[in-house]
Structure 1
Amino acid sequence: MQTLLHVLVTALTLAMLQTLAASAQSVEDFYKGRQIDLIIGGGAGGGYDVYYRTLARHMGKHIPGNPTFVAKNQPAAGGLAAASAIYTTAERDGGTIGAFANNVTMDPLFGAIGARYEPLKLNWIGSIGKLQNVCTTWHESPIKTIGQAQQREVVVGAAGATSNTALMPKVLNALLDTKFRVIAGYHPGAGLTLSIERGEVEGICGLSWSTMKASRPHWIKDKLLNVIVQLGMEKLPDLPDVPAALDLVKDPHKKRVLMLILMRQETGRPIAAPPGVPEDRLAALRRAFEETMKDPAFIAEAGKLQLEIEPMTGTQIQAMLTEAFATPKEIVAEAAALLTPPAQKK
């Protein structure tokens, strides 16, 4: 008994000493000469990867001590693995942060398997921009409108089973009576690109417009796509003549379900630190993110890469998630049924 008590006292003492040491070390001292691991919950070469690696090249100079960023891709489970790692195993000292797909912010609300984290307990740093998905077919496809997709089967390519490209076609099938058939399992970067260019699938539904502009600009420049519907809370300025799914859903209850589903896109490209990061370091990370969003060099590079910058602060993300997690249970249950296949629910 005394041995066990001794072990507990020793552990508590060490924890207290570590806490005191962390609090005594300035933010600049901590980050000087350090590398920050940026865990990207998306595939190499994809739209998320392009955005986050661009951020990584500029954010360090806005953090006291000027640390460098090391980007590491962890795309498994639609980014849920990366978020779970940030929440459960990452060091909570501010030396590791996560950069996720938009679904990460709300998937635990919908009961997604693999979501071993609590979004409201993560320390949100900010989001580079909103995410507004579209459904497209290849220019050789006879399907040119959403109405035609309601008349016959349209085969679309998708990444993992929990990715937007797999889930959004199913959402539209349920709420708009479309006839999308999903072929999942493609690499979220090159795999999806080749799937449609080789004619293995007829289209892609649920990939963001900004992702296409960033990672596949020739598709747009050379008019290789038919954009048949857009999935966002607001219509994109680039696509004034493409109908919005929210406008097409007439039933008020179904519209509310769709609005909750689309709300998770508003956080777009979110970045978070683990729970328990010292407050001064978290504040420095948030401040550095906001300064980077205004940095002329970052803005210039983003422009060259055709990245759309429409940032949200960490505080704004937290407020939006608080609202989403307060949604009536019946609406959440219906949205979850569309977003999480029964075999994958907790």
Structure 2
Amino acid sequence: MTALSEYQRLESTGIWREAPEAQRREVIVAFGDATLVISDPRSARALAHWSLPALTRLNPGTEPALYAPSPDADEELEIEDPAMIGAVEKVREALVARRPHPGRLRLWVVAGLSTATVALALFWLPGALIAHTASVAQPAQRSEVGGMVLAELATLTGAPCESAPARRVLDALSARLVPESRIVLVPTALHGVLALPGQMLVLGMPLVQRQDGPEAAAGHLLAAADAAALNDPLLLALRWAGLRAAFRLLATGALPATALAGYGQGLLTEPAAAPDKAEMAARLLDAGVDPSAYLKSLDDGEPFAIAAPPPQALMSDDDWVTLQGACMR
């Protein structure tokens, strides 16, 4: 112990009292092996050994210095010698610095746990609550949110084209390709298909009008349905709406009226994920649809060889013409 060895030969006089009622007596104070030794000045007999790590200063900053072997001890030692006082204080400081600090460790543990809790609340909990809300939403709630998203889209694409002849053709197309979904046709701005909550597939008229038949639209419808199976459209919408809106849906069953403001613009501008051509070609062939038109509509410049298409028509020419004219006023 460097601080102690430096003062091994240092000693001074002091005034020692063994108990509160005992008489004060002059003693010799010296450093021992991790102790403060109090001795009789005439006989040199040790009267007490005080543990240096337990040594307590009773009057910090005041001289003569008063010490006790522990905070609740009855013994008391008074030292006037500045050199001895300085030595005792230096050794005490060195010992305190080396002593374990369970309170400090506890403080760090509590601080770490608090930080982890705050991080959990800020970063994990919102996402977990939104995901939970999407997972427990009822079909009616999904359809309601889908209607809200469609209303947002309609401010940019125009209102859905819902004439009776067009509705008949769309329902027949849905029954053939995506039986669990409802296809909605919008007049402008959307050049492909978007999947909305409530198993709704929104088909853009630009895609219909620039094709000679329904095969390309069929591919985009299947691709959007597959994407929705992997990434829940309701979860995506709730992430946009935010934690408060998701909690409102969980607690009351409805979103705030303005929760999805601007979401339609985001859907129209976000690039669609690149489909797996081989997988989509196989899906279309299994559905009895020639994949050539769909693959060509992707227009990514990459050639793709396909098997000979089966001779099955998705709809009649008259139905296709009906669909192409569905949004004309």
Question: Is the pair's TM-score, using the shorter chain for normalization, greater than 0.5?
Answer: no
Q: TM-score range by the shorter chain?
A: under 0.3
TM-score normalised by L of structure 1: 0.23
